[in-house]
Amino acid sequence: MNLTTFIVKRVLAAVPLLLGISVILFGVLHLAPGGPLDVYADIPGVSHEALENIKRELGLDQPLPVQYVKWLGAAARGQWGYSIRTGRPVAKDIRERMPATFLLGGTAFLLALAAALPLGILSAVRQYSVLDYTFTFLSFIGFSMPIFWLALMLQSLFAVHWQLLPSAGMYTIGDGGLADRLKHLALPASILSVAYMASWGRFTRASMLDVFGLDYIRTARAKGLGEREVIYRHALRNALVPVITIVALDFAGMISGAVITETIFAWPGMGRLFIESMNGRDYPVLMALLMIGSFALVAINLITDIVYSMVDARIRYD
Amino acid sequence: MQGLRRFVSRTIWSLCLVIPLAGMAAAQERGGTLTVALNYDLDTLDPYASGFLTDVQATFLAGLVAPDHDAQYVPVLAQEVPTLENGGIVLSEDGSKMTVTYHLRPGVKWADGEPVTSADVVFTWEAIKDPNYLGPEKDGTAEIERIETPDDLTAVIYYDGVYSGFKASLFTYGVLPKHALEGKDLNKDPYWDAPFGAGPFMVTEFSRGQHVIVERNPYYFETDANGVQLPYLDRIVFKIIPDSNTQTTQLRSGEVGFAYNVPYTSLATLRNTPNLEIISAKTLAFRHVTFNLRNELLADLAVRQAFAHAIDRTTLNRALGDYMLPIDTFVVSTFAYASDDVPTYGYDPELARQLLLDAGYAPGRDGVMEKDGKRLSFDFMTQAGRAEYETAQQVLIAQLKAIGIELKPDNKAGAALSEARRNGGFDVWYSGWITPADPIDSYVSFYATNGFNNGGAYSNPAADAALYAAAGSLDPEEVEARMHEAQQIVLSDLPSIPLFETPSIVVTTNKLQGFVSNPTNQTNFRQVAPWWLAK
- Count other Cβ atoms within 10 Å, centred on residue A48: 10
Tens of pLDDT, residue by residue over A248-305, are: 989 888 887 788 999 999 999 999 999 889 888 899 999 999 999 899 889 998 888 8
CB pairs under 8 A between A and B: 172
- Band of pLDDT at residue B26, cut at 50, 70 and 90: low
DSSP per position, A22-62: HHHHHHHHHHSSS-TTTTGGGSTT--HHHHHHHHHHHTTTS
Show contacts of B446-452: CB within 8 Å, 24+ apart: B446/B330, B446/B496, B447/B330, B447/B486, B447/B490, B447/B495, B447/B496, B452/A41, B452/A44, B452/A46, B452/A47, B452/A48, B452/B422
Assess contact for B282 and A301: CB atoms under 8 A: no
Nearest CA in chain B to A92: B208
Q: Which residue has the higher pLDDT, A117 or B436?
A: A117
**Residue B6's pLDDT band (cuts 50, 70, 90):** very low
pLDDT tens by residue, B339-396: 999 999 999 999 999 999 999 999 999 999 999 999 999 999 999 877 789 999 999 9
What phi, psi does B158 have (nearest 5°)?
-100, 115
How far from A35 is each of A38, A66, B227, B415, CA to CA, in Å? 6, 17, 51, 6
A28 touches chain B (CB under 8 A): no
Give whole-number Cα distances, B339 to B151, B308, B428, B488, B489, in Å: 44, 18, 25, 8, 12
Residue B14 banded pLDDT, cuts 50, 70, 90: very low
How much is the average pLDDT of B151-155?
96
Helix axis angle for A90-125 and A236-255, nearest 10°, is 150
**3-state secondary structure at position B434:** strand
CA distance B437 to chain A (A): 12
Confidence of residue A44 (pLDDT cuts 50, 70, 90): low
List the single best residue of B275, B419, B434 to mutate versus A (max A Cβ within 10 A): B419
pLDDT at B5 over 70: no
**β-pair type (B154-159, B144-151):** antiparallel
Q: How confident is the model at residue B1 (pLDDT cuts 50, 70, 90)?
A: very low
pLDDT reported for residue B172: 84
Residue B22 host element (H or E): helix B2-23
**How close A94 gets to chain B, by Cα (Å)?**
10
Are the CB atoms for B524 and B36 separated by under 8 Å?
Answer: no
- Is A234 in CB contact (< 8 Å) with chain B? no
Q: Which residue of A has its CA nearest to B273?
A: A160
Ramachandran region, residue B90 (left: φ > 0; alpha: ψ -120 to 50; beta: rest): beta
Q: Residue B279 and residue B277: Cα distance in Å, rounded?
A: 6
Pairing of strands B406-409, B377-381: parallel
- With b for 16 or more beta-carbon neighbours within 10 A and e for fewer, the B289-305 pattern comes to bbbbbebebbebebbbb
Greater model confidence, A124 or B140: A124
Interface test with B, best of A43, A90, A98, A165 (most B CBs within 10 A): A43
Per-chain mean pLDDT for chain B: 90
Side chain identity at B77, as an amino acid letter?
L
- DSSP letter (8 states) at residue A13: H
Contact A100 B413 (CB under 8 A): no
Contact A168 B246 (CB under 8 A): yes
| Chain A residues inside the 8 Å CB shell of B67 | none
State the complex-level ipTM: 0.86
In this predicted structure, what is the pLDDT of residue A54? 83
Count Cβ atoms within 10 A of the Cβ of residue A289 and give its class: 0-12 exposed, 13-18 middle, 19 or more buried.
buried
Provide the pLDDT for residue A1: 55
- When pLDDT is averaged across residues A72-87 and rounded to a whole number, the result is 90
Give me the residue from A34, A51, A169 closest to B419, CB to CB: A34
Give the residue-averaged pLDDT of A21-34: 91
Question: What is the rounded average pLDDT of the residues B398-425?
Answer: 91
pLDDT score recorded for residue A37? 83
- Which of B169, B250, B412 is nearest residue A45 as measured by Cβ atoms? B169
In chain A, whose CA is at the least distance from the CA of B167?
A45
- Cα(B87)–Cα(B101) distance, rounded to whole angstroms? 8
CA A243 – CA A253 distance, rounded (Å): 16
**DSSP character at residue B266:** G
Integer Cα distance of A126 and B80 in angstroms:
83
| Mean pLDDT for the stretch of residues B404-428 | 90
| Partner B contacted by A51 (CB < 8 A) | yes
A100 chain-B contacts, CB cut-off 8 A: 209
Helix then strand count (H, E) for chain A reads 13, 0
B237 vs A43: CB contact, 8 Å cut-off? no
How many other C-beta atoms can be found within 10 angstroms of the C-beta atom of residue A293? 19
Whether residue A167 is predicted with pLDDT greater than 60 in this model: the reply is yes
Chain A residues within 8 A of B132 when measuring between CB atoms: 57
Distance from CA of B368 to the nearest CA of A (A): 31
Cβ-Cβ contacts under 8 Å, A32 against chain B: 416
C-alpha distance from A38 to closest chain B C-alpha (Å): 5
User: B450-494 pLDDT, tens per residue?
Assistant: 888 899 999 999 999 999 999 999 888 999 999 999 999 999 999
pLDDT at B22: 43
Q: Which of B137, B215, B249 to mutate to test the interface with A (most CBs of A within 10 A)?
A: B249
The residue-averaged pLDDT of A106-125 equals 94
| Residues from chain A contacting residue B453 (CB–CB below 8 Å) | 41, 44
Cα–Cα dist B376/A155, whole Å: 46
Residue A153: Cβ within 10 Å count: 12
Q: Does the pLDDT of residue B20 top 60, yes or no?
A: no
Does B81 have pLDDT greater than 80? yes
pLDDT band at B13 (very low <50, low <70, confident <90, very high): very low
Lowest mean pLDDT among A65-69, A199-203, B20-24: B20-24
Q: Please give the average per-residue pLDDT across B133-160, as a whole number.
A: 91
Distance from CA of A139 to the nearest CA of B (A): 26
| Cβ neighbours for B480, distance < 8 A, ≥ 6 positions apart | B336, B337
The answer to whether residue A264 neighbours chain B at the CB level (below 8 Å) is yes
Return the pLDDT at A279.
84
* Burial state string for A270-282 with b = 16 or more CB within 10 A and e = fewer than 16: bbbbbbbbbbbbb
Q: What mean pLDDT comes out for the span A192-200?
A: 92
Strands (E), B410-530: 428-434, 496-501, 504-509, 512-513
Nearest-CB residue to B413 (from A159, A168, A279) = A279
How far is B224 from B229, CA to CA, in rounded Å? Answer: 7
Q: Which residue blocks in B24-99 are alpha helix, DSSP H?
A: 57-60
A111 vs A128: CA distance, rounded Å: 25
| CA distances (Å), origin B112, targets B61, B109, B183, B203, B490 | 13, 8, 19, 12, 50
Instruction: Check CB contact of A266 with chain B, cutoff 8 Å.
Output: yes
Chosen for mutation from B167, B208, B440, B446 (greatest number of chain A CBs closer than 10 Å) is B208
- Of the listed ranges A232-241, A307-316, B90-99, B424-433, the one predicted with least confidence: A307-316
Question: How far apart are the CA of B132 and the nearest CA of chain A, in angstroms?
Answer: 8
Torsion of CA B433, B436, B438, B440, to 10 degrees: -30
Establish if A258 touches chain B: CB-CB under 8 angstroms.
no
In terms of DSSP H, where are the helices of B85-243? 118-129, 170-173, 178-181
Main-chain phi, psi angles of B326, to 5 degrees: -60, 140
Q: Output the average pLDDT for chain A.
A: 89
Query: Could you give the residue ranges of the DSSP H alpha helices within B254-370?
Result: 267-271, 301-310, 313-319, 349-358
B189 vs B428 pLDDT, higher one: B428
Angle between helices B440-447 and B461-471 in degrees, nearest 10: 160
Q: What's the pLDDT score for residue A314?
A: 73
Q: Which of B131, B168, B419 sits opposite A45 (nearest CB)?
A: B168
- Give the strands of the sheet with B144-151, arranged side by side: B89-91, B98-103, B154-159, B144-151
The alpha carbons of chain B give a radius of gyration, in whole angstroms, of: 24
* Interface contact flag, B250 A152, Cβ < 8 Å: no
Sort out which chain B residues have CB atoms less than 8 A from A170's CB and list them.
210
Q: Quick check: A168 and B442 CB within 8 A? A: no
B158, exposed or middle or buried, with CB in 10 Å at 0-12, 13-18, 19+?
A: middle
- Contact yes or no for B502/B258 (Cβ under 8 A): no
* A276 near B CB under 8 A: yes
Q: Residue B321 above 50 pLDDT?
A: yes
> For A47-62, what is the mean pLDDT?
82
Contacts of B54 in chain A (CB under 8 A): none
| Interface contact flag, B253 A43, Cβ < 8 Å | no
Sign of CA pseudo-dihedral B18, B518, B210, B419? positive
**Interval B85-118: pLDDT, tens:** 999 999 999 989 999 999 999 999 999 999 999 9
